[in-house]
Structures are given as C-alpha cells and as structure tokens.
A and B are shown apart, each in its own frame.
Chain A
Amino acid sequence: MLSNFSSNVILAKARAMYGRRLTKKNYSDLLNCQSVSEIARYLVNNTDYAKILSGINDRDIYRGQLENLLKQKLFEDSAILCRYEFSVGDIFSGYLLQRSEIEQILNVLLHLTAGMPSEYLFSMPMFLTNRSRINLVSLSDAKSFDDILNALGGTPYRALLEPLRPQAGMPLDYKAVENALYTHLYGGVYEIIRRRTHGEAKKQLLEIFDTFLDLTNYIRIIRLKTYFHSGYDFIRNSLLPFGTLRENQINDLIAAQGTPQIRQAMEQTSVGKRTRNIQHNFTDQISSRAIYHVCRHSIHFSSRPSVVMLSYIFLTQLELMDIINIVEGIRYKLPANEIKKLLTFADF
C-alpha cells in the first residue's frame, strides 16, 4: 500500500516530462527541414532532445546515428520514471530493454541471412552494450546461427531460438523467430499485469496492451492476405496470441476477402467499434493512432501511476517513430504533406 502511494510521484513526474514533448510548431518546423543535419540542429536548439544531442556534430550526422541517440533518450527517460514506480516499474523498464534486445537479435539474424553477419557491428547501438543482458559484442562476432545461440547463452532467448535452428540447406524461418520472441515479450508483460496489478490499474493497462495487440494482429492479417496472399494456417501462426479478439472473430477476419471486407469484419469487434472513428491514412497507422489516443487520454486523466508511466513510454515511442519518419521522408525528398501523412501525431 505504502509503495502504491509513493509511486504517485510518477503522476507528476511523467506529466512534467510529457509536457516537454514536441509541440505542433516543432512538428511543422521539422517538416520544413531540408536535411538530416538540419533536423538534428533543430532538435538541439528547440526541443528537449537538446541534452542527448548536445555535442554531436549536427552538420555531419547520419540517420542511423540520430536514431540511436533518440532511442537512447527514450531509455534514459523511461529509466528515470521506472525508478519511482515500485509496483511494476521494473517490469516496464524490462519491457523496453527486452524489446530492444529482440530488435538486436532480429537485426543480427537479418545480417546473417544477407551473408554479412560481421556488419551487424556497424549498426549496433553502443549505449545498449552496458544495459543489455546479451553480450552484443559477441553477437556481432557471430558467423552462424549456432554462434548467435552461443552469444545468447544465459538469456531466455537461447531456449526460444534453439528449436528454430534451420535445417542444413534450409533458410531460416524469420517470421517464426520473430513471433516466438514477441510472444515471449508480451506473454511476460501480461503475466505481470495479471499478477501484480488489480482494479482500475489492471483494467487500464490491459486496455492499452489489448488495443495495441488486437490492432497489430489486424494489420498482420491485412498485410499477409493482401500482399502475400498467405493461407489460413500461415496467418493464424503469425498472429500474437494476445488481445481481446475471440477465435471466431479472428477466423472471420482471416476468411474475409479483400481489405474493405476485413475492415468490415473488424468493425464488428469491440476494439474495431472503439477505433472505427480514428482517422488514418493507411491501415498500418491505425494501431499507432489508436494507442496514441488511449495513452494521451490516460496520461491526462488516469490516476494510476503504472498506467501513466506506460502511457508516457508509449507516447515517447510514438514521438520517436514520428521523428524517424520525418527523417526518412526528408532523406527520400518526400513533400512535407506526404511525410505528415506518415505521422501518428497529425493534429497540426
């Protein structure tokens, strides 16, 4: 009980940190930047990213460098909050770390599949080396799937990847690896929410994750059906086993022909009804925009520290994704209004 009251400091701290988010003007100005260097310079001079980017040579910064620095800020900000939140803070900081570790494992597997495993080193974020349970330097040294398993020794990932070792002469089942890792990640999160929270906090936390994962599954179904014309079994195995969608609803979604029909089937579900009015420019966007709405409401009005903290983490992640999208858009010389369509935050 005492720890719950002590956690209340999160409410003020997270909201104060959220108050330093990018403003509408910041977004407009960023869209008008002409190069990655200009974006970096703008972030240094006008936003809360100044501290993490201070000292960089904004003239010569590359996209990958900028992304790594911004991700580092997300880590550091979340770590500040997690220190105060006794009930589930360690879990959410663990969630962020696990997500990053999974991204690194998938990244090294992509390099391995492309036949350039040693070049994973170049994209490896150095700030993670001190925090991660994985020895990233060993991972960067891996030349085969077995080397990767060895580098993952002592972590739960090894046991997850072991059964997915490719047979000689067969390609790696990347999708299965991705699914196994993310199932492990979200399974842990759900377990903790169920065991360590209750009442309104539990309800609100579950709403955030359920909404996110329901929509993630929905997007996967659309993608796999539309772009890859995958069959029922493949799609079913590619979905994350979480969320509120019932078996028959998932079957309806998979059975529907074409995107409008899948959308219609989704609108029959409770999450579909709730998110029906969310404006989006392409299907993939609906998940981030829905989460943005839920988390923005929670960070403003929830009185549960764990919910406010998680909302802050999600909102910061979305802001980070928006900056990365702006950087990508500017690199590929897209017009500002086209880049704007890619953003989660578009109310400017």
Chain B
Amino acid sequence: MAVQKIKMTSIIGRMTELDQVTEICGESEFFHPDNALSFYSDTSQFTPLSEENPYAEPLQRLVESTAKVKRKLDFVPRKPGKEDQPAPKDEELITYANRFADEMEDYRRGREKSKKTIQELTRSMEDISHFTGLELDLDEIRKCAYIKVRFGSLPKESYEKLDFYNENPYVIFFPSSHDETQYWGVYFAPIDQAAEVDRIFSSLYFKRVKLANYKGSPETALKQMEEERNAEGKRIQEADSRFSAQWKKERSRCCEIYSRLTERSVYFGIRRYAARYNDSFILTGWIPADSEEKFKTSLDPLQSVEYTFENAEDNLNHSPPVRLKNKKLFRPFEYFIDMYGLPSYDEVDPTPFVAITYILLFGIMFADLGQGLVVSLLGHWMWKKKKMKLGRILIPCGICSAVFGTVFGSFFGFEHALDPLYRGMFGLSKKPFEVMEPVTTNLIIYSAIAIGLALVMIAMLINIYSSLRRKHYENALFGPNGAAGLVFYGSLVFGFGGKAAFGWDIVNTPYIICLVVIPLVLIFFREVLGGLMEKRPNWKPESWGEYIMQNFFETFEFLLSYMTNTMSFLRVGAFVLVHAGMMLVVFTLAEMMGGIGYVLAVLIGNVFVMALEGLLVGIQVLRLEFYEMFSRFFEGEGRAFQPVIAREEAQ
C-alpha cells in the first residue's frame, strides 16, 4: 500500500539563470511545480512572475491552423546523442511558425469563404422557395417609396407572443406559410416608423429574407443562384489539391519546429509558479525522493542556484501531490483508484487491497476455466492493441476465473468436462463442487457472507491504521469504522454467527454490555469523545437535544449499513449460481436444436454469457469495492503528481 516518496524542493537563484533552471526542471520530466507564494506566510517581498509566454502565441497559431486544415502535428523528441548540437534559435522557430500558420490560414480562409458562399446561396434558395408561386414582381416592391416591406420568418413562439403585444400598432405580421417551428410572411412599416418596428421584430428573432435584392421573379433568382453555387464548388477543389502538395513537402520540418516550440513554451510555463525577490527567484515544487541526486547533479553547474529538499511528510499542510507506486501485478488497479480519487499523501493507498479482492471476487463470481482464459486473452488484446487500461485488469481476473472454474469444474459451461482431470490427478470420483446441488448452494451462500464479513472487518482495520497514522483519533477509536465499530461488529459476528454456525455459546450479559453496548455508546458520543481527546475547543454540542436526536438517526443508519453492507456480499454467491444457471439454459436450448444447431447455440450462448456476465461481474465487484469497502476507510482527496513533461503536453 504505497504512495511514492516525494520531496519538496525550493530552488533559489539569480533571475538570469531562471530559464536554465526551468529547462532543467522540464527536461527532468519529474518536476511537479507548485505556487511558490503559497509556501510562505509572509509574501510581501515576493512578486509573482506574470510575464507573457513568447512561445505560446506562435505555437497556438501553428497548432490551431494545422488542426483547422485537418492535418496532424507529431511531437518529435530530440535525437539521442545530438543534444549538444545547437538548438534552433527562438527567432527561427517563431518566424517559421508564423509564416506557415499564415499560409494555412490563407488556404483555409479561401476555402471557408467559398463554403460559406455555397451555404448562403443554399440558404437563400431555401428561403426564396417559400415565396415561389405567389406571382410576385420584385421590381414593383422595390418601387414602394413610403412603406418598407420586409419578407422573412418568425419562430412559432415569437409569432404566438405577438397576440399579447399591443404597444405598437405597426407590429403586425402577415404569414404566407408555416411549418411546425417557423412562420414565413411579411410585415409593413411606414418609412418614419421603420427603425422602431424593425427593432421590435428583431427582438422577436425575425429572420429577414432580402427578396427585394433580386430582379424579376423569385423563380429567375433561384436559377441564377444555382449557377453561382456550382462555380464555388470548383474553386474549393482546386485549392485543396494545391495545399495537399505543399503539406507533403513541409510536414517533417513543421513537426520539428512544433516540437521545439512546445518544449520551450512548456518550460517557460514553469516560470509562472516562481516568485521574484529583488533580482532573485524562488521556485518550489515536488520531485520523487529517489530522483533527488539526479536533480542535484543537473542543477549543480548553475553558479547562482541554491536548493533545499524537504520531506513531504513535513509539508502535509501543502497537500503534497501523490503518485501511486505499486508492484507490477497491482499497478493496473491504480486505474480504479484514480477513478474514485487519489489518496492523500498520508493516507493508505488501497491499490493492493483492491487488486487482491477484485481479482478474487471476480474469479469466484465468473468461475469458468474456458471463459476465464478467453477473458484473459481478450484483456491482453485490449491492452496491447487498443491500449485500454481495463484490458490489463482483465488479464489476472480471467486467470483467477480459470482457477475457480477448475475448482467448480466448469469449462465453457460443460459441467463434467473436467471430471477425468479430477479422477486422474486427485483420485476423486467426480468434481469437488456441484454448484447446483442444494447442499453446495447453501455452502456457497454462507461462504459469500463469510467473505463479506471478513472484507468489512479488514476495511475497518485499514481505517483504524490509516486514521491513527493521520492522527484522526476520533475516527480511529470511536468511529463506526474505527475500533468501537470493529468491536461491535466483530462481537456480533463471532457471538451470534459463531452460535449459529459452530454452536459456540459465548454470548452472555457481560459479553453484550462490554462488546456490544459500550462500543455502541462510544459510537453515539464519538464527536464529543473525539473532541475531548483531540482537545478541540468546540467539543461540546450547541444543543444536546438536537445532538442526541441527530445521532440517534445516524447510529441507526450505521447499524443498518453494517447489515446491508454484509448482505451486499450475497451477490458473490448469487453470481456463482447465475453462471451455472445461465449455462444450463444455453445447453437446454442447444439440446432442443440438435445437430449443427447444438454447436451454434453453445457457441453463441457462451459468447452471450461471457459478455453479459463479464460486464455484470466487473461492475458488481467494483460496486462492492467502492461502496462496501472504500466508504469505510478511504477518502480519496489527494491530488495527482503531475510533472511537467513537454511531450505529454503536446498530445
């Protein structure tokens, strides 16, 4: 359960060497910058560095222009061994980026202009089509000297609002046609009122169709527009082929410039975390503890630069960033932790716990040798080919399914296919577990509850450990998931569960008073007791009546949650039975078909069961992790360790 050791570093030096420092920090790819000002209580002598990034604009222009012309820029790392070669000068980078961005912009603008013209022509043609067949002479309308005639459309809602409007007598709309959302028609306004009437119609989202701009009739105008539209289409095709040829020629140079500009822009971005003090700067950040020496070595050649390193444990109030560090088998499960929220630096990392329990529960609930191996292979393909993080999780889960499938004797739903194996290897007459037998069914259900009891108690133990480590004594000792809760829950489990399962007769009055009632009272008064223990000044509730009433409901809720959380694990057993049941249905259907139908039904049935059950089991186990276990010990309020890495910023 590990969070990588982090160190806080403060770097101080002359402003003249700040650029070199940021470059070293950026190139290290393990420096997580943090706002230097937030580390000091008195910042009156410091000023933040709020300079404009000189690389940002050309870089942004280059990226945006390239994206707009639907081309892709790739980040090209500096060639190894050639780091000493002189890097391109700033001026060279910026000039190239601006020049190429201009050229792409020209091409795009020309193309867009033609496209826009085509769209406008198409729109106008559509608009005008609402007024064809009315025998309109547009030339006659243009001759009107004392009234303004406005053709156009109104949204239905606006047309309806006109019924409520009676302020201006000239606001009248004469519809000629309409559909479900729009009314087309005309309004008239005396020349001296035109501006006001136009303004009101504009507020009503009137969309004007400038019919009077055309000569003759709407029909002749339509024909003329069609010809103009075809000519614009040709213009676009010619511009496209010209630009494709140019891109082919310049692509590699453009990617090189883009990569160097990205690096410089990202490294320059580190400056905004620094603070200035007279002619010196201070830069604060976080690095992995094991990279300290490497970092020192790279900073040492700088003359004015001095640095200090401090353990993150001594700076918890600055919420050190968190990077999870787990064994290879557990690492894929960091994906789930990331999804829920990273642990704080001093909190327990639940990844190994999640990994073990997830693999085990998935294996039990999806127990089938053949299907498990298929899931593993599928996971391997998802990870290797599609880079899906879920794929890496499915690999161990599938293997565990195969192991439990062997225990339950299920191979692609064939419940007796493994019998020869048991006979040959273990000398058994048949498989050890017949899932659908009533005795085994009960055993499976009881085992599921036992798993639940164990996991809930482990979650409580982790909570106690984690809370003590963080000095949250109230939560560790008196909380429903702390020592009091564990004693209460454990005593019920061992007292009553032991009696039911093994006939233990350990429950008596002192047992109930000491292990059930007292822990419950401690939970009830946890805030008061915690407050007294942590010497909080406001430990006493403002109103005892309200406190007791509120805690009565809360305690009731805790009690209910102990029961529901435990019962929730019944699904583990239920899915074992569901698998056997579903495969039974598949084989019943297959036998009804016979012949080639049998093979097809078994094949399709297996695919269906694998997909459906795999998905359900995956979700259900995750649900158990997040709700039944995480809610007992994990807050997940940490922030991620995000070092500055230029190639990642470029993606």
Name A residues whose Cβ lies closer than 8 Å to a Cβ of B.
32, 34, 55-57, 59-60, 62, 64-65, 118-119, 121-124, 126, 137, 140-141, 198-200, 264, 267, 276-277, 297, 300-301, 303, 335-337
* With contact pairs A119-B203, A140-B164 given, residues A199 and B341 touching in the complex (Cβ less than 8 Å): no
Q: Are A276 and B38 in contact (CB under 8 A)?
A: yes
A interface: dominant SS: helix
Contact: B60 with A199, CB < 8 Å? no
For B132, list chain A residues within 8 Å (CB). none
- By a CB distance below 8 angstroms, the chain B residues around A123 are 203
**B72 touches A (CB below 8 Å):** no
CB neighbours (8 Å) of A57 from chain B are 153, 155, 181-182
9 contacts between A and B (CB under 8 A): A55-B180, A56-B181, A57-B181, A59-B126, A65-B155, A122-B158, A126-B161, A300-B340, A301-B627
Contact B38 A64 (CB under 8 A): no
> Quick check: B554 and A199 within 8 Å, CB to CB?
yes
Q: Is the CB of B164 within 8 A of A137?
A: yes
Contact A198 B554 (CB under 8 A): yes
Flag if B153 contacts A60 (CB, 8 Å): yes
A198 touches B553 (CB 8 A): yes
Closest-CB distance, B273 to chain A (whole angstroms): 12
In this complex, how many residues of chain B approach chain A with their Cβ under 8 Å: the count is 38
Contact A121 B161 (CB under 8 A): yes
Within the complex, which residue of B180, B200, B207, B557 is in contact with A60, where a contact is CB–CB below 8 Å?
B207
Q: Contact partner of B60 among A55, A59, A303, A337, CB < 8 A?
A: A337
| A-B pairs, 3 with minimum CB distance | A122-B203, A60-B207, A198-B553
Give the distance in Å from the alpha carbon of A328 to the alpha carbon of B240 in the complex. 31
Per a CB cutoff under 8 Å, which of B60, B161, B180 touches A124? Answer: B161
Interfacial chain B residues near A126, Cβ < 8 Å: 157, 160-161
Interface string of B194-212 (1 = CB under 8 A from A): 0000001001110100000
Give residues 69-110 of B contacting A (CB, 8 Å).
Answer: none
Contact flag A64-B205 (CB < 8 Å), given A118-B165, A336-B64: yes
- Name the contact of A122 in the complex, choosing from B123, B204, B627 (C-beta under 8 A): B204
Neighbouring B residues of A140 by C-beta, 8 Å? 164
- Are B557 and A335 in contact, with the CB atoms below 8 A? no
CB distance from B543 to the nearest CB of A (A): 13
The residue on A at minimum CB distance from B205 is: A62
| Secondary structure type dominating chain B contacts | helix
Closest residue of B by beta carbon distance from A62: B205
Q: By the criterion CB–CB under 8 Å, are A199 and B165 in contact?
A: no
Whether A121 contacts B639 in the complex (CB less than 8 A), given A65-B205, A198-B550, A301-B340, comes out as: no
B558, closest chain A residue (CB):
A199
Report chain A residues within 8 Å CB of B30.
none
A-side contacts of B129, CB under 8 Å: none
Contacts A126-B157, A301-B340, A337-B60 hold; do A121 and B165 have CB atoms under 8 A apart? yes
Smallest distance from the beta carbon of A128 to chain B beta carbons, Å? Answer: 12
Does B167 make an interface contact (CB < 8 A)?
yes
Interface set, chain B 196-253, CB cutoff 8 A to A:
200, 203-205, 207
Given A59-B126, A297-B341; 11 other pairs, CB 8 A cutoff: A56-B181, A60-B205, A65-B205, A121-B161, A122-B158, A122-B203, A140-B164, A141-B164, A199-B557, A200-B557, A301-B340
Contacts of B353 in A (CB 8 A): none
Tell me, in angstroms, the Cα distance from A267 to B317 when the chains sit together.
Answer: 12
What mask results when residues 544 to 567 of chain B are scored 1 for a CB within 8 Å of chain A, else 0? 000000100110010000000000
CB proximity of A8 to chain B, nearest CB, Å: 11
Contact B123 A59 (CB under 8 A): yes
Chain A residues, CB < 8 A from B176: none
CB-CB under 8 A from A301, the residues of chain B are 340-341, 626-627, 630
Whole-angstrom distance between the Cβ of B124 and the nearest chain A Cβ: 11
State which residues 28-68 of B face A: CB under 8 Å. 38, 43, 60, 64, 68
**A141 to B165 alpha-carbon distance, docked (Å):** 9
Complex: chain A residue closest to B199, CB-CB: A119
Q: Tell me how far the C-beta of A48 lies from the nearest C-beta in chain B, rounded to whole angstroms.
A: 20
* Alpha-carbon separation in the docked complex, A59 to B180 (Å): 15
| Closest residue on chain A to residue B158 by CB atoms | A122
Q: Which residues of A contact B126 (CB under 8 A)?
A: 59
Is A60 touching B182 in the complex (CB atoms < 8 A)?
yes
Interface residue? B631 (CB, 8 A): yes
From residue B39, how far is it (CB to closest CB) to chain A in Å?
12
Q: In this complex, what residue of B is CB-closest to A118? A: B167
With the chains together, A132 CA to B557 CA distance in Å?
37
Question: B304 near A: Cβ within 8 Å?
Answer: no
* B119 to A, closest residue via Cβ: A59
Q: Which of B164, B339, B553, B626 is packed against the most chain A CB atoms within 10 Å?
A: B164
Chain A residues lying within 8 Å of B164, measured Cβ to Cβ, are 121, 137, 140-141
Q: Does B315 contact A (CB under 8 A)?
A: no
Interface residues of B in 444-498 (CB under 8 A from A): none
In the complex the two chains form, what is the Cα distance from A196 to B205 in whole Å?
Answer: 45
CB within 8 Å of A: which B475-527 residues: none
Chain A residue at smallest Cβ distance from B68: A32
Q: Which of B352-391 contact A (CB under 8 A)?
A: none
Query: Nearest Cβ distance between residue B587 and chain A, in whole angstroms?
Result: 32
Taking the nearest CB of chain A, how far is it from the CB of B49, in angstroms?
14
Among A121, A199, A264, the residue within 8 A (CB) of B553 is A199
Question: Which residues of the other chain, B, contact A34 by a CB distance below 8 angstroms?
Answer: 112
CB closest residue in chain B, given A68: B157
Q: What CA separation (Å) do A183 and B204 show in the bound complex?
A: 33
Q: Name the B residues within 8 Å of A56 (CB-CB).
A: 181
Task: Answer yes or no: B319 CB below 8 A from chain A CBs.
Answer: yes
> How many angstroms between the C-alpha atoms of A301 and B631 in the bound complex?
9
Which A residues touch B557, using CB under 8 A?
Answer: 198-200
Residues of the A chain whose Cβ atoms lie less than 8 Å from the Cβ of B158: 122
Docked CA distance A65–B43 (Å): 49
Closest residue of chain A to B154 (Cβ to Cβ) is A60
